[in-house]
Amino acid sequence: IVQLLLRHGADASICMNDGACPLFVACQNGHKTAVETLLEYDAGVNLCMSYGTSPLYVASQRGHENIAHLLLDRGALVNLCNKYNSSPLYPACFWGYYSIAQLLLNNGANINQCLDDGTSPLHASCFGGHDSIVQYLLKNGADLDLCDSDGSGPIYRACQFGHKTTVQILLDNNANVNSFTKIGASPLYGACENGHVDVVQLLIKSGADVNLAVMDGKSSLLIACQNGHHTTVQVLLNSG
């Protein structure tokens, strides 16, 4: 039907009110044949929605690797960002699409492209504990020290969400175990706040300072007590 409509004069680049063109919709829904047909009729491969999201971005966000390949082969800009300064690499890392992240990086994606709030692709992969992507990013030059607008580095986010193996990978790559956010929260504090006892144990074993406190004087022990994380409290007390 797509081919029939185009053959009879349908405009391949006409957009909806939000800026979504037919190519964007086909990429979003994973319809490779429709994408191929639209590109044959010169649909704009870099035509973005009103807030800057490109066909490659949405293909990466939805995990459609075959379409991402096709778009890149047809000239899609790998570092084209939306209004939040997010490139296609960011959603690929956030959702754990390793092969797409690899594809984008092999095609020149900026590995340290940060959102307006300072969140990097490495942050994104740490949110979800996507270890294979974390390792690949670090191997290819991701900056461990980039912090978001809160001053939180990748290790803080990994600890906050309880991803022990991710934390270990970061530590093995020389992440600072006693780094802290703008309010003074350390990775240990983030793990204690949420009761991730296995992460707490790993951090202490790796040299985390159990007595570091945030700016209002609240320690890791206090936040663990306030939030009712009994086992975490016991680990902290046993650490001396």
The percentage of the chain sitting over the pLDDT mark of 90, rounded to a whole number, equals 80
Kindly state the average pLDDT of the residues 176-203: 96
pLDDT tens digits for range 71-84: 999 999 999 999 99
pLDDT value of position 15: 66
Check the CA dihedral 213-214-215-217 and report its sign: negative
Is residue 203 scored above 70 in pLDDT? yes
Kindly state the average pLDDT of the residues 200-221: 94
pLDDT value of position 50: 75
Kindly state the average pLDDT of the residues 5-12: 66
Whole-Å CA distances, 85 to 8, 80, 93, 101, 153 = 38, 9, 15, 17, 18
pLDDT value of position 40: 86
pLDDT value of position 11: 67
Name the pTM for this structure: 0.91
Kindly state the average pLDDT of the residues 90-107: 98
Environment class of 209 (CB within 10 Å of its CB; exposed 0-12, middle 13-18, buried 19+): middle
Whole-Å CA distances, 2 to 24, 32, 120, 223 = 14, 12, 38, 58
Q: Which residue has the tokens 């990097």?
A: 120
**Mean pLDDT over the full length of the chain:** 92
pLDDT tens digits for range 24-49: 899 999 999 999 999 988 778 887 77
